[in-house]
Amino acid sequence: MLDNPISEASGDERPQGRGAGGQRHDWSVEEARAIYELPFNDLLFRAQTVHRRAFDPNTVQKCQLLSIKTGGCAEDCSYCSQSSRYDTGLKASKLMAIDEVVKGARAAKANGATRYCMGAAWREPKQRDMQAVTAMVREVKAMGLETCMTLGMLSNEDVAELKGAGLDYYNHNVDTSERFYPEVITTRTFADRLETLARVREAGIKVCSGGILGLGETPADRVDMLVTLANLPEHPESVPINMLMAIEGTPLEGAAKVDGIAFVRAIALARIMMPTSYVRLSAGRSEMSDELQALCFFAGANSIFCGDQLLTADNPGEDADAALFAKLGLKAETSGTSGRMA
C-alpha cells in the first residue's frame, strides 16, 4: 500500500479501524513513518487528495490569538518566552480586563477572524480566575465568534464551568513525542497533557491539540507525536503545527532551524492521518517564505493565526497575509461558509 499512494488516497482500501468520516485511530508508527518518508511528490499528492475529499482546497480558516495573561508562568517549557524561569525580557502582566478582551475580539472580527483564541500563561487556572474567563467566553461568543481558550491543565470543575459558558474549543498541545517530552518540560508530564485532553473531550468541548517542530526532536519524534494525536479516541478538531520561534533567554534560543521540507512532511502526515481535522500552520510564519507557506497549504494546512502578534511573538499581519492570499488565490473561511465539503 505504501508504495502506491494513489490507491489509498483514492479510497480503494478500507483498512481496519476506519470509522465514520474516514477516520482511523489505529495508525502504527511504522506505517506513519513510511508515509512521512514517501518521495515528496507522492506524499504531497496523497495529502492533497485526502484534503480535497473533506475541504475546499482554496479556503483557509483565520483565527486570532490574544494573550489574556502574559508571563510569570511557573512552568519550565524550554521554548517559552513566558516562563518565569528564563530571563526573556518579557514584562509579566495580570489577567486582562474583560472589556479589553472584547475590544480585541471586535478588531479580530473586523479583520476576518472567525475564531478568537485566548491564552493565559498558567500551569492551571485558579478558581478565583474562572469567573472572569467564563465571562470572556460568553461575551466573545455573543459577538458571533468561535471561542477557544488555552489556560493550562484543567480540573473536572474547570471544564464544566467552561462548557457551561459555551466554550467551543480548548487548546492544549502535546507539543512533542512522549519520549522527548521530558527533555523539553519537566514540571508536568505527557500523561498530564493527555489527562486534560480527555477531560475536555468528556465535557463536550472541541479539542485543539498539536505541537512544535524544532525543539531538537528527531523525525521519529515528529511522527510519534502525530500518531499520538491521530490515535486519540477522536481526532482533535484542530491540529496546530508550530515551528519553534527561538526566543532569546530560553534554553532553546540557539536551536537549529527546522528544515522547511521536513516541516511540510509533518503537515502532510497530519493531514493524511487526520483527514477531517483543521490543520493549522501556526507559530513561525513570520520566518517562512511565501513558497514554504504555499507548500504547507498544498500539503493540507487549512488554518492560520492572523494578526501581527501571536501571544508574545510576531506574526506576518493583515497586509502580508492579504498579499499572500491574493497571490495564491486563497480565500478566508467566513462564519457562514465553511471550508468543509458538504
Q: Is 231 helix (H, G, I), strand (E, B) or coil?
A: coil
Among residues 73, 199, 271, 285, the one annotated as catalytic is: 73
121 binds ligand SAM (CB under 6 A): yes
Please report how close the Cβ of residue 20 comes to ligand DTB at its closest, in angstroms: 27
Known catalytic residue at 296:
no
Closer CB to ligand SF4, 83 or 303, in the complex = 83
Please report how close the Cβ of residue 149 comes to ligand DTB at its closest, in angstroms: 9
> Of 278, 327, 323, nearest to 304 (Cα)?
278
CA pseudo-torsion sign 285, 146, 223, 3: negative
Among residues 24, 63, 115, 208, the one annotated as catalytic is: 208
**Residues 6 or more apart in contact with residue 99 via CB below 8 angstroms:** none
Beta bridge partners of 208: 171, 238
Among 200, 269, 311, 330, contact with ligand DTB (rule: CB under 6 A): 311
State the number of binding residues for ligand SF4 (CB under 6 A). 9
312 binds ligand SF4 (CB under 6 A): no
Selected range binding ligand SAM among 85-93, 171-179, 229-237, 325-333, rule: CB under 6 A: 171-179
Known catalytic residue at 222:
no
Q: Which does 83 bind (CB under 5 to 8 A by kind): ligand DTB, ligand SAM, ligand SF4, none?
A: ligand SF4
- The DSSP code for 22 is G
Residue ranges in 26-55 that form contacts with ligand DTB under rule CB under 6 A: none
66 binds ligand SAM (CB under 6 A): no
- Cα–Cα separations (whole angstroms), residue 236 to 16, 209, 253, 270: 20, 6, 30, 11
Among 5, 104, 125, 152, contact with ligand SF4 (rule: CB under 6 A): 152
Among 68, 73, 117, 332, contact with ligand SF4 (rule: CB under 6 A): 73
Q: Report how far Cα 197 is from the mean position of its chain's Cα atoms.
A: 13
> Of 307, 300, 308, 305, nearest to 339 (Cα)?
300
Q: Phi first, then psi: what are they for 280, rounded to 5°?
A: -100, 120
170 binds ligand SAM (CB under 6 A): no
State the number of binding residues for ligand DTB (CB under 6 A). 17
310 binds ligand DTB (CB under 6 A): yes
Q: For residues 286 and 200, give the distance between their C-alpha atoms in angstroms, rounded to a whole number.
A: 31
> Of 64, 45, 88, 23, nearest to 233 (Cα)?
23
Known catalytic residue at 73:
yes
Give CA angle at 87 (85, 93), nearest 5°.
Answer: 80
Catalytic (active-site) positions? 73, 77, 80, 117, 148, 208, 280
